[in-house]
Amino acid sequence: MAAVLGIGLMAAAGVSLAVLPRGAPSSAPEPAARIELLTARSEQVAVIDSGTLRLGDRIVRLRGVEPPSHTTACAGQDCGAAAANALAAMVRDAPVVCQLGGADGLGRPYAVCHAGGTELNRAVVAAGWARASADAPDLARAEYTARADNRGVWAQNPDW
């Protein structure tokens, strides 16, 4: 019985050793994550709101940007429409290049976009036409300054 038990333990040990990786872990670097760039000429760009663009047939969300809704009032006007118009002015007559990464709950890719040398994510928040989302601390300073200077929505609706 002891011999059977010993053989069983040795077999079990052999099996468990067989599933361990052999040799030292590979020091070869893992391939870098693929960076996807999306580029569109100005006539291929449509502004959906101050945090969402359509580039050709793709819709992208500006990472870290929370636009005002169309129900947000700004001294009798629609803040959402005013914010969208402000972003439209930023992309007018300039090609837009977006670096995609991640997606929102609806599957739309998040992006950091540039037009005419300007980062749109930061520019729309700094102009006061959007909030910085909680997961974008790099944009929080731009929002704080826009609020303090009463820019964009903050000029019309400081409680937004």
Give the per-residue pLDDT at 151. Answer: 95
Give the per-residue pLDDT at 44. Answer: 96
CA atoms within 13 A on the CB side of 140: 6
Give the per-residue pLDDT at 24. Answer: 46
Q: Which residues, given as ranges, of the chain have pLDDT below 50?
A: 1-26
Mean residue pLDDT of the chain comes to 83
